[in-house]
Structure formats: C-alpha cells, structure tokens
Amino acid sequence: MSTAPQSGSAVSESRRTPLIVFAWLWVGVPLAYGLYELVQKATQLFTK
C-alpha cells in the first residue's frame, strides 16, 4: 500500500462540492414541485 499525500484529492473534492450541490438542486427542486402537485391533485381527485 502506498501512503501518498491526499492533498490533491482534497482540493479536487472541494472544487467539486458546489457542482454536486447544484446538480442535486437541479434534480431535487423540480422533483419536489412535482410531488407537491401530485399530492394536491390526488387530494382533489379523492375528495370530490
């Protein structure tokens, strides 16, 4: 096993964090909105 310094991967990971957050928001916000609309329409369907 080699014990190479991990400084390069730490820098790469810290630069990638905003991209990961943006990607999760890009997917999560429309998903959350879609689920919200689904629940609203389902309650209208079953209450009328």
Domain count, the chain: 1
Question: What pLDDT sits at residue 12?
Answer: 77
Question: What pLDDT sits at residue 14?
Answer: 84
Range of the domain at 45: 1-48
Distances (CA, A) of 38 to 1, 13, 33, 43: 52, 36, 9, 9
pTM for this structure? Answer: 0.64
Question: What pLDDT sits at residue 10?
Answer: 65
**Rounded to an integer, what distance in angstroms lies between the CA atom of residue 13 and that of residue 20?**
10
Tell me what the mean pLDDT of segment 6-35 comes to. Answer: 88
Tell me what the mean pLDDT of segment 26-42 comes to. Answer: 97
Please tell me which residue, 14 or 43, carries the higher pLDDT value.
43
